[in-house]
Structure 1
């Protein structure tokens, strides 16, 4: 099993089955299990639990080497034995590195504010379409990949782009006109993988871009202090710059 491991916490059987099926349909995600109560959810999430001990429903009788831990919880706020906010607090109290997306019919502003302050990454109000569900989880995947793909330290630009991934419409506003997230990500990943400084021409040849386009992305990264720009000496003609990732 691979991908982002997801636990669906939902007491309504029809909704739980629908959310589980939605997860199965998404590339990059794995359904770890379904819990119908707060107690089942915490049993599934507790360190050392594989989901079955506390009544949580594991998927397809996972083998003994089934990966422990859950990356993402899709959490209903109204459970028969606990409020969703209490479950979030218990997850945080255990120090679990598990993200939470609230999936609920609750529209009360105080609950929304409390959920956000508790550290949820998305809030999805029922009823919703598969398209809305897919958009939220895909945005979360971009957020998670942006963070887990980094080294031990990060830059302001990387933090901005990670957070922007949770809000696709806002994400585009971070970039100057004419630059795309997809190409920027390719330039960043290529730059990160190099051990020596590189030029705009070399980046262009590696990524099948024009030299002008490659330079625009490199200059943007340099302005954001994500890349270091230094003169390349010993070249003829116009002065050339070289770039390296700012580790």
Structure 2
């Protein structure tokens, strides 16, 4: 059965389970619960406004498939209504309301005993906000929070920092099955409200000579590697006990 709450394999979908099935998680504190954050925005690439989710969901689903024998993960329905940090963002919320929504979503997911969460963000304009939300959840609610940004694995939607977005565009063509429509490169420069504050921190992945599927595979492997690294971190209570023993 196809679920439109989450574009991916139902094996990883939180909402594809009935509530008694959560009793199957004998050690919920070891499970990674992932909350995707996909803004609905026009990135002046001649692509649909759900392009972040189109790319993000494919990368995340394939990374989970690649690690299914190594870690246990559940994916919450994504947050699609985000703060408007770019003029291209649509269906936005006030940042205070959006912040409270992400906090309450994670808090409610923690009720069955889950303690380890990953915020998987695709928007370059939301990275600082995601970091603040993660800090609040850690400090106030004693949850172990990790942040994974799509730009961190080389796919940066940012019109300035992202530089050459040909790699990203080729993956969109691969996933959508059609080329982009003509886009105004000059208009893209207006998306960032504070362009002078942009610092180029990542080298973008350019189009691969062997095709987009090869490039997508590289991005998926980078994401899978991050998930493996996250999974090796000790739960917070174990970390606290180890610290007390060494003091």
Tell me if TM exceeds 0.5.
Answer: no
**When you count strand as a share of all residues, which structure comes out higher?**
1
**When you count helix as a share of all residues, which structure comes out higher?**
2
Q: RCO greater where, 1 or 2, for CA within 8 Å and sep 6 or more?
A: 2
Q: TM-score range by the shorter chain?
A: 0.3 to 0.5
Please give the TM-score of this superposition, normalised by the length of structure 2: 0.37
